[in-house]
């Protein structure tokens, strides 16, 4: 491909005869196994707590109900809930673990995909390093243990971006047929991504960076055809949604999440905080190992090892301390060191867009998964570039003192990175979400003649349905419908409000008596998403489910 870049300035034939080539596949298999182990760790104990997880869980019951949740279309196109339903069938019936399986599967498959992209666009060392970074990255691991659409979309979007470039790089000398075949494949891949998440056209926008250069007109036409095929793949779902809800209502719903250019700095900081809070200890350790390993396979390790230790130690320390900034800086170094001006233009375009686009929206951390995966790729390019080029400046015998200093500084930085990493978790969290609360609630309320209705999140509705309890979800305007033969279930209240119960009773229109409270253990991802709406810190949000009954005596 035109984007091939060899940080070691070797010819491709010499690259692929390097010692790494012979162990490359073993390293990738180990990365996949390590990534899968982190993602599957204690997965049977992980429950659902995110609002959207509940929507997809209820929609995933389609093999038994013959329909999706009524408002499913406002949250995602059909592929993810279809996958959830298939996972439930594969596990023998409805369960919360089945809701997590699509994310677990595609989050794991992202590892070899990133390796293949790095290998194809640059070289094997970059692919292997990027695969390991994605395998142990806290953000990728955490979301691969949720029931959200984003791990599936990240895999689909990166695959579509790769296929877009593959289509645009088609050799015109081979005729129109092969080019159209590639265009059809790329367009279908983008259509699949679009049917996973509504921002599925992201790969098309990013692929504009690959148009400049020779045959740019043919590339522009090919990209237009790709977008056309993608639209054709998406139209059936759009038509179904329009018949049921009106497509304008979806556009209005999606516009509600757009915050505009003024929000970019604030949302970038929020994303950086969120990514840091989900960090695991492994990525800095991978960088330290890479700093030592890359020189050892270079054939001139005596002169290059000190600089590999230095770069690995400093990069690991920075990654442990400020992961987002470190990845962006390494990505910029990688772009700057690319072989051709066209490659630098293309990946500058991609780098800018993957930072700006998610920052325009409500600061949902899940929107950063594709950005994070692409940053891993570009950061691997930058890291390998530094390790390869730095020794050429300091490898002369007169610089032995500099080499010794580099080894010492790199060693100290590696130790400090290890200390910081040890203060970070090595394993992802295992929050049970609403599972325990729902089981306790079903046991406590099942013998009552009252019917439960509530201002509750969909995960609770899903769990209670698994226990045989049907809960009517209420909107704010329907609260006055509470009657004496009903329980009112309420979750996600802000308990530090002194007027909490009075305000609730005013909305209901009747006097209420709290019967019981059931504790909920939300995931950290759920808390991060809720903070912008709660207008306060994570700790001030009460996720317990409160059960009320109309007090005797009426209004």
Per-residue pLDDT tens over the stretch 16-40:
445 555 689 999 999 999 999 999 9
Looking at the predicted structure, is the pLDDT value of residue 190 above 70?
yes
For a pLDDT cut of 70, what percent of the chain falls above it?
88
CA-CA-CA-CA dihedral for 312, 316, 318, 322, to nearest 10: 150
Greater pLDDT, 512 or 443:
443
Taking alpha carbons only, the member of 116, 191, 190, 110 closest to residue 143 is 110
**Residue 544 — left, alpha, or beta (φ > 0 → left; ψ -120 to 50 → alpha)?**
beta
Taking alpha carbons only, the member of 438, 443, 440, 444 closest to residue 463 is 438
Taking alpha carbons only, the member of 397, 349, 407 closest to residue 165 is 349
DSSP 349: H
pTM of the model: 0.92
How far apart (Å, rounded) are the C-alpha atoms in residues 208 and 188?
Answer: 18
Q: Tell me the CA distances in angstroms from 198 to 150, 190, 234, one per residue in order.
A: 11, 11, 10
- What are the helix (H) ranges across 280-322? 282-296, 301-321
How far apart (Å, rounded) are the C-alpha atoms in residues 204 and 269?
Answer: 27
Which tokens hold the place of 249? Answer: 């209502």
Q: Give φ, ψ of 428 to 5 degrees.
A: -70, 160
User: For the segment 162-187, what is each residue's pLDDT rounded down to a tens digit?
Assistant: 999 999 998 777 777 778 999 999 99
User: For the segment 464-507, what is each residue's pLDDT rounded down to a tens digit?
Assistant: 999 888 887 766 555 665 666 788 888 865 444 556 667 677 77
User: For the segment 265-320, what is each residue's pLDDT rounded down to a tens digit?
Assistant: 999 999 999 999 999 999 999 999 999 998 888 767 777 888 899 999 999 999 99
Q: Quick count: other Cβ atoms within 10 Å of Cβ 423?
A: 8
Q: Give φ, ψ of 258 to 5 degrees.
A: -85, 125
Side-chain half-sphere CA neighbours of 531 within 13 A: 17
How far apart (Å, rounded) are the C-alpha atoms in residues 479 and 459?
Answer: 20
The answer to whether 209 and 349 are in contact (CB under 8 A) is: yes
The answer to whether 461 and 76 are in contact (CB under 8 A) is: no
Q: Quick count: other Cβ atoms within 10 Å of Cβ 159?
A: 22
Q: Tell me the CA distances in angstroms from 259 to 32, 34, 256, 301, one per residue in order.
A: 37, 38, 8, 51
The answer to whether 219 and 210 are in contact (CB under 8 A) is: yes
Domain ranges of the chain: 12-148+256-422, 149-252, 435-550
Question: Do strands 451-455 and 472-473 pair parallel, antiparallel, or not at all (unpaired)?
Answer: parallel
């Amino acid at each position: 491909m035109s984007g091939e870049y060899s940080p070691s300035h070797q010819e491709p034939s010499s690259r692929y005869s390097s010692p790494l080539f012979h162990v490359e596949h073993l390293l990738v298999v180990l990365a996949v196994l390590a990534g899968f182990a982190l993602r599957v760790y204690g997965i049977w104990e992980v429950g659902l707590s995110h609002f959207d997880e509940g929507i997809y869980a209820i929609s995933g019951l389609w093999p038994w109900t013959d329909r999706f949740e009524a408002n499913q279309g406002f949250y995602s196109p059909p592929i993810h809930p279809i996958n959830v339903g298939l996972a439930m069938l594969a596990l023998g019936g409805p369960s919360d673990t089945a809701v997590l399986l699509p994310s677990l599967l595609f989050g794991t498959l992202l590892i070899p995909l990133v390796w293949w992209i790095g290998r194809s666009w640059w070289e094997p060392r970059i692919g292997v390093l990027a695969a390991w970074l994605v395998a142990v990255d806290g953000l990728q691991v955490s979301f691969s243990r949720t029931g959200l659409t984003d791990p599936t979309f990240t895999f689909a979007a990166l695959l579509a971006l790769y296929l877009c470039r593959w289509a645009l790089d088609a050799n015109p000398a081979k005729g129109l047929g092969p080019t159209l075949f590639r265009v059809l494949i790329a367009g279908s891949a983008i259509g699949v991504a679009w049917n996973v998440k509504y921002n599925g056209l992201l790969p098309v926008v990013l692929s504009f960076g690959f148009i400049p250069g020779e045959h740019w007109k043919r590339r522009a036409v090919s990209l237009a055809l790709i977008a056309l095929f993608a639209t054709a793949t998406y139209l059936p779902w759009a038509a179904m949604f329009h018949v049921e809800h009106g497509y304008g209502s979806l556009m209005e719903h999606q516009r509600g999440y757009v915050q505009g250019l003024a929000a970019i700095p604030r949302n970038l900081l929020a994303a950086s905080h969120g990514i840091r809070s989900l960090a695991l200890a492994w990525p800095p350790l991978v960088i330290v190992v890479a700093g030592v390993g890359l020189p050892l396979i270079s054939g001139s390790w005596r002169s290059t090892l000190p600089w590999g230790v230095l770069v690995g130690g400093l990069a690991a320390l920075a990654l442990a301390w400020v992961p987002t900034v470190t990845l962006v800086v390494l990505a910029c170094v990688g772009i700057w060191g690319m072989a051709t001006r066209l490659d630098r233009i293309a990946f500058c375009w991609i780098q800018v867009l993957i930072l700006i686009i998610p920052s325009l929206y409500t600061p949902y951390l899940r929107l950063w998964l594709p950005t994070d995966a692409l940053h891993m790729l570009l950061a691997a390019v930058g890291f390998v570039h530094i390790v390869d080029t730095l020794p050429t400046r300091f490898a002369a015998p007169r610089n032995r003192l500099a080499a010794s200093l580099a080894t010492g500084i790199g060693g100290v930085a590696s130790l400090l990175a290890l200390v910081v990493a040890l203060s970070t978790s090595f394993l992802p969290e295992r929050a049970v979400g609403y599972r325990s609360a729902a089981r306790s609630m079903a046991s406590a309320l099942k013998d009552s003649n009252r019917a439960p209705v509530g201002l509750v999140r969909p995960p609770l509705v899903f769990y209670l349905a698994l226990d045989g309890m049907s809960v009517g979800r209420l909107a704010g305007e329907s609260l006055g419908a509470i009657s004496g033969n009903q329980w009112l279930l309420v979750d996600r209240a802000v308990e530090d409000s002194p007027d909490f119960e009075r305000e609730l009773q005013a909305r209901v229109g009747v006097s209420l008596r709290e019967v019981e409270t059931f504790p909920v253990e939300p995931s950290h991802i759920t808390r991060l998403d809720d903070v912008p709406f709660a207008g306060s810190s994570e700790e001030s949000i009460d996720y317990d489910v409160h059960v009320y009954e109309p007090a005797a005596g009426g209004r």
